[in-house]
Amino acid sequence: MSSDTPADLPDPLLEAIMTCEERIGYEFEDRNLLRAALTHASGAETRLSSNERLEFLGDSILGFVVCEYLFKTYPQFFEGDLTKVKSVIVSRSTCAKLSKKLGIQELMILGKGMSTHPSIPPSLLANVFESLVAAIYLDGGIDCAREFILRQVEPEIGPVIDGETGGNFKSLLQQLAQRQFSTTPTYLLLDEKGPDHSKAFKIVATIGTERFQPAWGRNKKEAEQRAARNALSQLEGKDAPFPSDD
C-alpha cells in the first residue's frame, strides 16, 4: 500500500506518479521518493528537495549492479574487457537513452523555463534515470533496484559485447581455453552441403578431448564463429545458441 494516498498529491502529479510506476514496473511504498526522483532542481522548492542527491546515490548503485552482472555473466572476459563494456552501459548517453525509452521526459517536474524547452537535454534524462535507481533502492532495497536496472540494461549489453569483441567469439574462446585449460581450441569441418555458389558448412569446436555443439554457417568463417559461441555458452552452463542437427 502506498504511503501517499490520492489526497496527498495534486491530481496531475498523482497521475504522473502512477504513470511512472506503470512504465518502470515498480510501485512505491513511499511515493515521495518517486516524486523527488522526477524533480529537477528548476522545479524544486529547494535544491535539497530535487533529484540531485538521489542521482549521486543512483550512479553508484547502477555501477555496482552492472559490474556484478558482467562479472558473473562473462567469466571469460578479462578486467579490461569488462571495464570497456561497463563504461558504455553506465554512460550518460545510455542512461539518457533508457529514460527516453521509458518516456520519463514526459513526467519530469521542471521549472517554467525548462518545461517550455522544446526538448529535455540528454544530461537531465541521464540524471533522472540514476535518480529512479536510487529511489527504488531506498524504497524496496537492492533486489528491487537490481531487477529494475537489469530489465533496462540487459538488451543494451549484447550489442556492446559484440561491438567490443567485433563478434570475435573465436578470440574469446581462445582466451578462455588458454586461461582455464592451458591449450587452444581447434575447429573441425564435419560436413558441407549445397551447390558451390551457396554452400553451408558444419564445424565443431574442441578443447582437448572436449567437443562442443557443432554449428552451421554460410561460410567456414561464420561456422567457426558460431561453433566458438556455442562452446562459450556451453562452458557457461547455457544452451548453445546455434544448435545443429547433432
The pTM of the whole model exceeds 0.85: no
pLDDT digits (tens, 9 = 90+) for 7-21: 465 566 888 899 999
pLDDT digits (tens, 9 = 90+) for 58-83: 999 999 999 999 999 887 777 888 89
Rounded distance between C-alpha atoms, residue 171 and residue 156, angstroms: 22
Total domain count, the chain:
2
Residue 103 lies in a domain: yes
> Beta strand pairing status for 200-207 and 210-211?
antiparallel
Q: Are residues 45 and 74 in the same domain?
A: yes
| Mean pLDDT, all residues of the chain | 86
Q: Are residues 138 and 187 in the same domain?
A: no
Quick one: pLDDT at residue 67?
A: 97
Q: What share of the chain is helix, strand, coil (3-state, %, to 5)?
A: 65, 10, 25
Residue 246 lies in a domain: no
Q: Which residue range(s) make up the domain with 104?
A: 6-165
pLDDT exceeds cutoff 60 at 116 = no
Q: Can you give the CATH number for the domain in which 187 is found?
A: 3.30.160.20
Residue 85 lies in a domain: yes
Identify any residues that bridge with 39 across adjacent strands, giving them in sequence order. 109
Positions marked catalytic: 59, 130
Q: Are residues 46 and 99 in the same domain?
A: yes
Q: Are residues 129 and 182 in the same domain?
A: no
Q: Are residues 159 and 191 in the same domain?
A: no
Residue 132 lies in a domain: yes
